[in-house]
Chain A
């Protein structure tokens, strides 16, 4: 008896437990008999369908589910099929809208139960579907961002084999995405760059930082190549492991053209500043020539004086011509951009000659280094001259009451530094780190573009050198240009 009691007790206990278990499941569970009547149902189903237990259990399925679902899903037919075959139906999609609630999306399974019943399991996947649609939307958006970018954007695996290649890359290289897919990226670089680019991909494997560089991309369609500024960034997975590399590249042709224009216009500004000094300097020899010629027109001059006048005329024409030649050389030289062997001392000396007039007008003494033989650097002569011209003019402008500008040149093992020190007003501490920014200027409106030092910076960078400034307010400033030796 007691055994029976326990059996009975435990049976109802288990039923209770399973009932609770089923009610706790956030999915809908229905048990249906072979007459398609609902035998049992869990709480979640009643909640979602907004039905009571009384008008659900014992009712036919056709009464419990709306007609539209029965028609669209053919669920009754499917259940009967499961009864016949005994094989379950898994993961079908169903859209269900109970009266007064928003649309829900379900995945349902029909599972046979040995006691001639089936279990209908319905899982609400509305949220998952919404999320996956969101993910797809974001993916589409990201893809169109990459595709619409005017910069080259490509991705590779960790070995540097191309995985994606956007339309800017197709346009600039003339190579279609399917042509390059799976190919090594460095195969599209100039021969002498291949090894270096391969090394960048090697480095990406263990790096967290981007790598910036410039090299040519081959454009096989016209057998040519274009100069691109590249940024390589490692692509990491959730565990911080490099799984590939993202490479972004920008066509430098346009930027180079703009830089050239900017330098040229800045040069014209510098020429404007020099004009005052030059006018003074050219009018002196002109005045000498003019007066000497008038002496020659006088009657009865002695042969010795005649010769002297002619010599003065010739010498002063030479002088004026030399000033003009310097000026022309400065105005034109930026058009050549080829790096050649340049004697830095000659560049400094010629630039000092150009500003000597202006310095004299402002009572500024220029101290040049004691003459060494030569200091050779790889560079573009005109660009280096523009850099020193800017620095010199800045120094002169900083000394409206006159002063001293000294130039010191020092060579080290592999580099040379030029220090240009003035005794002018100096640069306030807060502005020291801004002076190389474009359009930063301490001059009144209309007297300086604020481009001079930013252009110096870009030119020196192009020469693989560096430029720094040191100063204290009221104690003058020192500009330090460092360049690699040849």
Chain B
């Protein structure tokens, strides 16, 4: 199953895609919330990396939509706007809307660790 990357910054998508592809996995990218929702609806993803602030929607809103799908993918929020013990983030985790948070800038191994944990 491919992994969805949602970030309005093409270079960010480039970075995450490269790390994931190095593990022999497939990647789909979306640059805004609407596009992400469309792809979530029509594709089948095991994992979603999603930026917190998208030009048209809040990343959490997209995560909430993803959490209501039948085959719900696991969602990891990647953001430079929040910090890891941010109340917003903690709340989203406790509500089971996201299952992890990664602060920008991150190390490549942090992404790899998430991939391994999620895919086992």
Chain A residues near B (Cβ < 8 Å): 276, 279-292, 294-295, 312, 315-316, 360-361, 363
Q: Is the interface of B mostly helix, strand, loop or mixed?
A: loop
A279 to B103, CA, bound (A): 12
CB distance from A243 to the nearest CB of B (A): 70
State whether A280 and B79 are in contact (beta carbons under 8 Å apart), knowing that A286-B104, A290-B105, A290-B106 are contacts in the complex: yes
Smallest CB-CB separation from B106: which chain A residue?
A287
**Chain B contacts of A284 at CB under 8 A?**
9, 11-12, 80, 104
- Pairwise interchain contact A294-B107, C-beta atoms closer than 8 A: yes
The answer, among A276, A287, A363, for a CB contact under 8 Å with B105, is A287
- Pairwise interchain contact A287-B15, C-beta atoms closer than 8 A: yes
Apart from A280-B53, A280-B79, list 19 A-B contacts with CB within 8 A: A279-B80, A279-B81, A280-B52, A280-B80, A281-B80, A283-B104, A284-B104, A285-B11, A286-B80, A288-B12, A289-B105, A291-B15, A291-B105, A291-B107, A292-B15, A295-B108, A360-B53, A363-B54, A363-B56
A239 to B106, CA, bound (A): 85
A316 to B14, CA, bound (A): 13
Cβ-based interface call for B44 (8 A): no
Chain B interface residue count, Cβ-Cβ cutoff 8 angstroms: 24
Smallest CB-CB separation from B104: which chain A residue?
A287
Residue among A284, A286, A360, A361 having the largest count of chain B Cβ atoms under 10 Å: A284
- Pairwise interchain contact B104-A312, C-beta atoms closer than 8 A: no
Smallest CB-CB separation from B9: which chain A residue?
A284
Residue among B8, B11, B103 having the largest count of chain A Cβ atoms under 10 Å: B11
Cβ-based interface call for B58 (8 A): yes
Smallest CB-CB separation from B53: which chain A residue?
A361
The answer, among B15, B52, B53, B103, for a CB contact under 8 Å with A288, is B15
- Pairwise interchain contact A363-B15, C-beta atoms closer than 8 A: no
**Chain B contacts of A290 at CB under 8 A?**
105-107
- Pairwise interchain contact A283-B15, C-beta atoms closer than 8 A: no
State whether A361 and B107 are in contact (beta carbons under 8 Å apart), knowing that A284-B9, A312-B11, A312-B14 are contacts in the complex: no
**Chain B contacts of A295 at CB under 8 A?**
18, 108
| 7 tightest Cβ-Cβ pairs between the two chains A and B | A283-B80, A287-B105, A287-B104, A290-B105, A280-B81, A291-B15, A283-B104
